[in-house]
Structures are given as structure tokens and as C-alpha cells.
Amino acid sequence: MGSAPAGKIVFACFLVSIVLFSTVHVNAQGVAGGQTRKYVVFREDDVTPGAKFAELQAVNQVQIDKNVPVTIGIIPHPNATAGNQLLENKQFLNYMRSIASNRLFEFAQHGYTHQSAGTASPSEFYGRPYAVQYDTIKKGRDDITQAFGVVPTTFIPPFDKGDNNTLKAAKALGFTEYSTAFRDFNINEGYMDGVRIDAVSLVFANESLQSMESATDRFLNDTHGIDTFVVLYHPADFSGPDGTVSSERVKMLADYIDYLKGTGRVQFTKLDHTWTTEGGESSSSSGTSPVKTTVDSNNEANSIWTGIGLSGGLPLYASLGLIAFACIGFLWFRVRSNPTRRPPKRL
């Protein structure tokens, strides 16, 4: 083998290595410089005509003042009376209608009655027949649409507990997002049966500001973990011991949002991903979804998207090593198969 072809092969391998190294370097810079795509979703459950109205207004006002979106889980039919109960409380109805068109708010469906069906663990849906679940979810969806002019696309099972029939019924009714606890499907973030699942990451009622910041730091620094952090709260979480709105709890939420913005490493979105802030302070009106790796629901309906991508660096380093190894092996093979011929000795 001549030196010119070998030199060209080495040079080509060298160029490929430079490109790969540059990509690794750029991705590493993105992580170090706070440019990673990490998302925070606030999920507000148990919003219903019987909810604590002052607390509901107070916590939603924090989201408005901070220009941070939130997914609102609406309970359509919390008691046994007939009719669309979302229409009965005029104060609640008018308020919810006033924010329905605000892009900060996503109206999601949080079950139907939010009453346990008597299973071993609290759940409105777990273990019930598919047809019953389908009809119940449909009635709730239709009530929300009638009351607020919104067709919800995110379903949240009460008590964060459902089963495969719950997911299938929700999908059949047009829901594309599903938020629950990890235990339901052993998925923190991913796709199942063509529906995106985002599990709860942190429950506001159980935390202090310091513990929330610590949990968020772990999320931000885990480059191989999930990319969406779901923070769950309820209007009742902001009640004081005397039954009035707790200014301390409201301030804690505001301080936590300020902390998130201060990291410079998160964007805020909703479970339906219809609007996402750009960076910590400014917002985008493009209505585009966050850039995520998705799973082809036709071919890999039950695959789990884990958030392990190129930005982690490890797949690229592995590729770099494999290409270098392949180049060396190719050169060795060519040399062995085409040994340099020396002129015969003169006798």
C-alpha cells in the first residue's frame, strides 16, 4: 500500500474526529453554560367550584405576575347532583372563563368526581371496566368544553392512580398528554400507547423552599435524566391556619419561581406544551412545543423516552472511539492484504 492512500485515509479519519470532538465540546459548553433544555411544569390540581376561591385566585396571580404558565386540573363533577356543576357557581365560572384564553393557563381534566371507587388504594378509575371509564371521562370532558369553551387534551387521574384502561380511554377521547405518579406505568417521562406521560416530580405541600431548591438542583445536574420537572400543588396548599390565604405559602411559590429563573437553566411550559417561555425572564408567543425527542407511536408505542441524548456527551465519545478504532483496523487490514513489495535481490 502506498503512503498517499494511507495518508488520505488518516486525514479523513482526523477530520471526522475533529467534527465529533467539536460537537462534544459544544454540547458540553451548553451544559456548563446553562443552555440545556430543561423544563418546569406547574400542575395545579383540584380546581373545582367548591375549591378555596381566594387561594385559587392568589396562586394563579403569582403565575400571572411571574409570567409563568401552569396546567390547571379541573374536577368537573365533584358531587352527586345532576347537570353540569361547572356552571352552578357564577363566581367560579366567570373567573375561569376570564382566564381561559390566557396562554399562561392550560385547562386539563382531573377525573370526573375525584371520588374513590373503593379500590385497595384511593382511585376513581383503577380496576373499573373500560366502558365505564370511557363514559365517565367523556362526561367530564364535555362538561369542561360546555363551561369554558375549551377541549382539554391533558388528563390527570385523581389520586395520581389509574390503569391501562384509563390511559386507553383517554387516548380514545383525544387526550394526548397524561400526568400521574411514576408507580402507574413505571415511567417518569415518555410515551405509552401513543400518549405522552409526565410523572409528578415534586409535591409542593410536602416541601420547604430549601428542599424544593435541592430537588431542582439534582434535576438540573442530572444530564442523563428526565428533561421535564412537574411541580404539583393545590389551591388548598395556600390556606393559613385561620382559614385565610397564607401569604407565607404564596410568597414561597413566588420565591421558588424566582430561584428557577435565577438558575438560567430552565424554561417554563405546560403539560400540553403549547407555549413555552424562552429563557428565564422573557417569553415566546410562537406557540411552538419544546424541542423533544419523540417516539414513533406506531412502531414503538410502549417505548420510554429517557432524556439521554447527544447533550450528555457519552454517546459521542463512544462514537469517536469506535471511528478511531475502525480507522486503525482498516489501515491494518490494508497493510496486511497489500504488503509493500521489495525488489528481488540481485544474484
Question: Can you read off the three cell numbers belonging to residue 288?
Answer: 411552538
What residue ranges in 263-317 does DSSP mark as E strands?
267-269
Among all chains, which residue has been given the C-alpha cell 419544546? 290
Report whether 229 contacts 219 (CB < 8 A): yes
- The per-residue pLDDT for 82 is 87
- The per-residue pLDDT for 324 is 54
Cα–Cα distance measured from residue 307 to residue 290, given in angstroms and rounded to the nearest whole number: 13
Could you list the pLDDT tens digit for every one of the 347 residues in the chain? Answer: 455 555 555 445 444 444 444 444 444 434 444 445 799 999 999 999 999 999 999 999 999 999 999 999 999 999 878 899 999 999 999 999 999 999 999 999 999 999 988 766 899 999 999 999 999 999 999 999 999 999 999 999 999 999 999 999 999 999 999 999 999 999 999 999 999 999 999 999 999 999 999 999 999 999 889 999 999 999 999 999 998 999 999 999 999 999 999 999 999 999 999 999 975 443 333 333 343 333 333 333 333 333 333 333 344 444 445 555 555 555 545 555 555 545 544 44
* pTM of the entire predicted model: 0.74
For the chain, the maximum distance between any two Cα atoms, rounded to a whole number of angstroms, is 114
Among all chains, which residue has been given the C-alpha cell 363551561? 147
Cα–Cα distance measured from residue 103 to residue 214, given in angstroms and rounded to the nearest whole number: 29
**Amino acid identity at 169:** A
- The per-residue pLDDT for 336 is 56
Report whether 342 contacts 227 (CB < 8 A): no
Using DSSP's 3-state secondary structure scheme, residue 267 falls into: strand
- 10 Å Cβ neighbour count for 74? 26
- The per-residue pLDDT for 309 is 34
- The per-residue pLDDT for 81 is 83
